[in-house]
Amino acid sequence: MSYTFEETSRTVKVDDLTIHYNDAGEGFPSILIHGGGPGATGWSNYRRNVDHLAETGRVIVIDLPNYGGSTKVGPQPGGLFQYYSGVVRKFMDALDIERANFIGNSLGGGTSLKFTIDTPERAGKVVLMGAGGGLPVFSAMPTEGLRRMFAYYADGEPTREKLRDFIEMMVFDASEISDELLEERFQNSINPEVVAAPSILPRGGKPAIEDLWREDLNSLPNKFLIIWGREDRVLPLDSAFILLNRLQDARLHVFPNCGHWAQWECAGEFNQIVGNFLMP
């Protein structure tokens, strides 16, 4: 079955927030959480994956606050992973979901990991894809991809050219980025509320993200699949190694000739691997 954005589009109230999400399939739920780049939305991140993953169960693709169709709230105090994992927990409560699998890319990966650290009993299997929260053991930080992401809103004047520079850094093959996708993300990125107070700008010289690798990861009973693009220029492959070492039940899959957006560039193989992992 082929799902469309319109037929799967939903909203739910979470405290004073309106959270937009797409809902497809039936069965045990998997929550898919997008990355934090300018103009990101759940559907733009995962549109190539929904149909296949919905064959394994219910697929819920969330727009985090400040992104897509969800409420724009600006930067929040504390760490981003802490804030967003708390929103996801309340989102699950609003939908009467006690437990779910998680698939998270970049910011969404760090959010998924933080959620699992805080409430492992509510997380099933967890896919961390180019996830934040790790520690690169060889690469210098911030990477060129992160610098371009932070520069996008730095002067308060986002442009299509700056967005293309960033988006092309996310993939190995820039031909994968269509003009349609670029324009969709650009229009999302120039929401006046987001431009006025973007959540992704560094605070005090560094991003407001937590070092999740310092947490007691070895105690987590959950099964993890770590996925990385070998040519990731946003969060490099060596960020995966400490997560692989510290999570007691983790396996790593590396896609060659692939950047930060593995679910997009390697959709066919990604869908097969993740679908098999999520099967009961």
Q: Could you tell me the residue range of the domain that residue 272 belongs to?
A: 5-278
Q: What is the pLDDT of residue 204?
A: 56
Instruction: Supply the pLDDT for residue 189.
Output: 95
Query: Along the 280 residues of the chain, how does pLDDT read in single tens digits?
Result: 899 999 999 999 999 999 999 999 999 999 999 999 999 999 999 999 999 999 999 999 999 999 999 999 988 888 999 999 999 999 999 999 999 999 999 999 999 999 999 999 999 999 999 999 999 999 998 899 999 998 999 888 999 999 999 999 999 999 988 999 999 999 999 999 999 888 876 655 556 789 999 999 999 999 999 999 999 999 999 999 999 999 999 999 999 999 999 999 999 999 999 999 999 8
Edge-to-edge strands of the sheet including 29-33?
9-14, 17-24, 58-62, 29-33, 100-105, 123-129, 224-229, 250-255
Closest to 34 in 3D by CA, of 15, 21, 18:
21
Q: Is 253 a catalytic residue?
A: no
- Under DSSP, the state recorded for 116 is H
Cα dihedral 276/88/69/129 (nearest 10): -40
Residue 7 to residue 113: CA distance in whole angstroms:
30
- Judge if pTM exceeds 0.85: yes
CATH value at residue 23: 3.40.50.1820
Domain count, the chain: 1
Question: Phi and psi of 54, rounded to 5°?
Answer: -70, -15
Burial class (CB in 10 A: 0-12, 13-18, 19+), 140: exposed
Question: Which one of 20, 34, 253, 260 is the catalytic residue?
Answer: 260
Tokens representing 213? 């690798």
The pairing of beta strand 100-105 with beta strand 58-62 = unpaired
